[in-house]
Amino acid sequence: MQSYDLIIKNAQVVTSIETKYADIGIKDQKIIAIGNNLINSKETIDATGKYILPGGIDSHCHIEQKSASGLINSDTFESATKAAALGGNTSIIPFAAQYEGFTLTETLEDYHKLAKKGSIIDYAMHMIIAGPNNDLLNLELPEQIRLGHSSIKIFMTYDRLKIEDIDILNIFEKARDMEAFISVHAENHGMITWMVSKLLEKGYTHPKFHSVSHPVAGEVEAINRIIGISELMDQPVMIFHVSSEKGVEVIRNAQARGVKIFAETCVQYLTLTSDEMDKPGVEGGKWICSPPLRKTRDQNALWDAVKDNTLCLISSDHAPYSFDSNGKLFKGENPNFKEIPNGMPGLNWRLPILFDEIVNKRRKNLSINDFVRLTSTSPAKIYGLYPQKGDIEIGCDADLVIWDPEAITELSDDMVVDGSGYNPYSGRIIKGWPETVILRGYMIVFNNKVIADPGNGNFLPTKLSANVKPKGIIAHDLLKENNYGANLQS
C-alpha cells in the first residue's frame, strides 16, 4: 500500500482549469496522488470547507535592492519572504540590480548570498541590467543565463537605470541568441524629467503631483517604442506594471496583429487610485510608486484587460520604504514628491486582496480558477517554473495553500511584518484568507504564523519557457547569417 508523508483531505482542489473535491497525497516534497479516500500517512490535515490552491508566485518584487536614488529598500529577504508566506506565496522572483560600474557576476553573487541566508520560500531571480558594456553582454550574460538566470529586466527611465535605444537593441539581440526573456519598465524618461521640472518650478511639490509628473502619454510612448523594438527583433517581451487605459489599448492592438507581447499589472493599480496621494502633508507619499496610481477609468480598463488576457498576470511590485528618515523621508520631513522614493509594500497583501476582489466580489465575472491562473500558473509558465511550480498535478512540488473562504479580516498597520511599517490597504475589510501554507510538503505558515526558518528557501534556476520563445520570423530578415538584411539587396 502506498504511504504518504502528508495527506490533505476533504477540500475543494482548485487549479487554473478546474475545481473538484479530492484528497492530495504528498511524499518526498512532491504531489504523488490526487484522489478520494487516500489513507496511510504520517500526517493528515482535514481541510473540510476550505480550498486548496497552488502556492502563489509573485514574479515582480524588490528585496534588499538599491533604488535609483541610492537608497536600499526597507526589507531583508527574511522580512520580505515572511510577509510573502503569510500572504499565501511559496515562490518569488526578486531582482538582482546591476548598476553601471559593477559587474553582473558580482551583483548576482551578492544577491544570492542574501537570499540563501534569509529567504523562507523558494526564489528565482531577474537580472536588472543598467550598464550593458561588451564584457557584460558577451561574457557575463551568457554565463549567467547558463546558470539559471533566464530573465532580464531593463528600464526606459530613472537616471541611474535607463537604457538608450541602441543598447536596448543590443540586449534584445543577445537575449534572443542566448534564449532569455526580457521585461521592461516602460515610461518615457524625457517626458517625466520635463514634467517634474515644470511642476517643481511652479511650486507644485505635494505628493499628489507625482501622478501628474508621470503622464499617461509617457507610458504610451514607451510601450509603443518597446513593442516596435520587440517586433523588429522577434524578441518577446513582458511589459511590467501597466497602469493606464491607453497603455492597455496599445498592448491589445499589438497582440491583435500578432506581436508576441506579454503584460502584467499590479494589485495597487486594480484597487487604488491617485486620490490616495491627496492627503495632508506628506502622508500621501506612502502611495508614491511608478508608474503612479491612476484614475478610476484606468482601473476599470485594467480589469477588462485582465478579463480578456491582454494582461496575463498580476504581481505586487513590492518595493517597501519605511515612512521615516530611513525610507520615504530620507530627504527630510517635508520632501517634494520627487524626493520621495518610489515603491509600496505588497507581498503580504496581493493574494488576499485579489481573492476578495475576484472570488467574492466576482470582478468582471472572473472565477477562482482565473485567480489561480493570474497569480500562480501564468507566472510559472512565463518565467520557466512550470510544471514544477504553479499547479496541482502529480509530479509538481507540493506547494499548497489552504484558504478559508469565510474568514473576515480588516487589514491594518498592526499586521505588517515587512520593512515598510505600514499597510497601504489599512482599513480595508476582505473575505478569504490563506490560513495554512505548505512549501514542498512542509508547513511554513500555520494559524497566520510563520513556522519556517530563514534559509529554508531554495534557488529555482530557470530557462526560457516555450510559452515566450520568439516566433521565428524576424522583420526584414534581420539575421546575422543574412548580414542583417543586406543579403536582400545583393
pLDDT at 95: 97
Q: Is residue 260 part of a domain?
A: yes
Q: Is residue 132 part of a domain?
A: yes
Q: Is residue 191 part of a domain?
A: yes
Which candidate, 314, 318, 432, 433, places its Cα nearest to that of 375? 314
DSSP lists the bridge partners of residue 230 as none
473 vs 397: CA distance, rounded Å? 36
59 vs 61: CA distance, rounded Å? 7
Q: Which pLDDT tens digit goes with each residue over 311-323?
A: 999 999 999 999 9
290 vs 263: CA distance, rounded Å? 16
101/267: higher pLDDT: 267
Q: Which pLDDT tens digit goes with each residue over 152-185?
A: 999 999 988 999 999 999 999 999 999 999 999 9
Average pLDDT of the segment spanning 240-265: 97
The grid coordinates of residue 385 equal 517554473
CB 344 within 8 Å of CB 60: no
Helix residue ranges, H only, 242-349: 245-256, 267-271, 296-307
Q: Is residue 289 part of a domain?
A: yes
461 vs 149: CA distance, rounded Å? 6
Instruction: State pTM to two decimals.
Output: 0.96
Q: Into how many domains does the chain fold?
A: 1
pLDDT at 101: 84
CB 343 within 8 Å of CB 350: no
pLDDT at 71: 86
Q: What SS3 class is residue 291?
A: coil
CATH number at residue 111: 3.20.20.140
pLDDT at 160: 87
User: In degrees, to the nearest 5, what angle opens at C-alpha 105 toward C-alphas 56 and 89?
Assistant: 10
Q: What SS3 class is residue 290?
A: coil
Q: Which pLDDT tens digit goes with each residue over 51-103?
A: 999 999 999 999 999 776 678 899 999 999 999 999 999 999 999 999 888 89
Domain range enclosing 321 = 56-387
CB 343 within 8 Å of CB 67: yes
Average pLDDT of the segment spanning 356-376: 97
pLDDT at 486: 61
Q: Is residue 26 part of a domain?
A: no
DSSP lists the bridge partners of residue 263 as 239
Give the pLDDT band of residue 297 (cuts 50, 70, 90).
Answer: very high
Q: Is residue 461 part of a domain?
A: no
* Cβ-Cβ contacts under 8 Å for 46 (sequence gap 6 or more): 9, 10
CB atoms within 10 A of CB 283: 14
pLDDT at 475: 58
Cβ neighbourhood burial of 193 (10 Å; 0-12, 13-18, 19+): middle
Q: Which pLDDT tens digit goes with each residue over 446-488?
A: 999 999 999 999 999 999 999 999 988 765 555 565 666 665 5
CB 191 within 8 Å of CB 263: no
Q: Grid cell 527574511 — which residue?
A: 78
Average pLDDT of the segment spanning 419-423: 96
pLDDT at 489: 58
pLDDT at 277: 98
Q: Is residue 285 part of a domain?
A: yes
3-class secondary structure per residue, 56-100: EEEEEECCCCECCCCCECCCCHHHHHHHHHHCCEEEEEEEEEECC
| Crossing angle between the packed helical segments 104-118 and 77-86, to the nearest 10 degrees | 60
Q: What proportion of the chain, given as a percentage, has pLDDT over 90?
A: 92
Q: Is the predicted pLDDT of residue 252 greater than 90, yes or no?
A: yes
User: In degrees, to the nearest 5, what angle opens at C-alpha 309 toward C-alphas 306 and 310?
Assistant: 85
Q: Is residue 353 part of a domain?
A: yes
